[in-house]
Amino acid sequence: MISLLDAVKPYVSNFKGIRLSTRPDYIDDEILTILKDYGVTTIELGAQSMDDFVLASNNRGHSAQDVKDVSRLIKQYGFSLGLQMMTGLYKADFESDMYTADEFVKLSPDCVRIYPTVIMKDTDLADLYLNKEYTPYTLDESVELCAQIIEFFYENNIDIIRVGLHYSDSLIEGSIGGNYHPAFKELCENKIFLNKILKSIINVNSKDIIVTVNPSSVSKMIGQNKSNLNKLTDMGYKVKVERDKNFKKYDLSVKDNR
């Protein structure tokens, strides 16, 4: 750690600071003092889950209480706090993953990352999967869950800086299970808008509708490859899209176009 910090020390003044990620059980007062002296500004914790049963089942080596204690300590030292969660772990379910999101909000992090579990070959998790002891979420299930989590964090003013793993050839070649998608966040945001539209059209007595969203959200509302519009068309709806810059990121309205 010291050798890496020494390597960047001459250049820190050219930037706003240093961001790093680590385990909850690798942080204490001594480490935080060193990181502060070297110009580290943001510490992200790989919490993954706030369910102790899930953490133990995945041999994480730390508890939910460790995450809570260290998060408070990090903030006491004046660092920006980031928390990383991993949905769909072994022994996890929608309820435990939403519980993790709720516990994250209580800790008031400055940012979060959401990583749906991807099974890598030659790991304990892969063995559990191949032995049919672990059934991962399908891509559709993962999208449905993470759409809810994204909206939940957004409503609680938690900045989401990443959803899903960065694409790489090694990730594609080294993973199994078929539940990875390179545009995962886009799929989730498409789902947010589709769910809201389906909920809103119940109150509209027409198949000819106008959907209004923020200009920056039009593509998300339409969906990847027009998936949302195609879904509505298949349901018999004719959709006109309008833009309103006063709408927030995930806001929309649906009204009769007759």
Rounded to the nearest integer, the mean pLDDT of the chain is: 96
Range 189-256: architecture per CATH = 3-Layer(aba) Sandwich (3.40)
Over range 55-80, report the average pLDDT: 97
| pLDDT for 178 | 84
Query: Do the beta carbons of residue 135 and residue 116 sit within 8 Å?
Result: no
Q: Please tell me what DSSP assigns to residue 241.
A: E
Contacts with 215 (C-beta within 8 Å, 6 or more apart), sequence order: 243, 244, 245
Taking only the tens place, the pLDDT of each residue in 189-202 is 999 999 999 999 99
pTM of the model: 0.93
Q: Which residues of the chain form CATH 3.20.20.70?
A: 2-182
Over range 247-254, report the average pLDDT: 96
Taking only the tens place, the pLDDT of each residue in 40-64 is 999 999 999 999 999 999 999 999 9
Whether the predicted pLDDT of 97 surpasses 90: yes
What string of DSSP letters covers 129-166?
HHTTS--PPPHHHHHHHHHHHHHHHHHTT-EEEEESPP
Which CA distances in Å does 28 have to 39, 61, 76, 221?
17, 16, 12, 44
The CATH superfamily of 2-182 is Aldolase class I (3.20.20.70)
Q: The sheet that has 238-243: what strands, in order across it? A: 238-243, 208-213, 252-256
Q: Which residues of the chain form CATH 3.40.1260.20?
A: 189-256
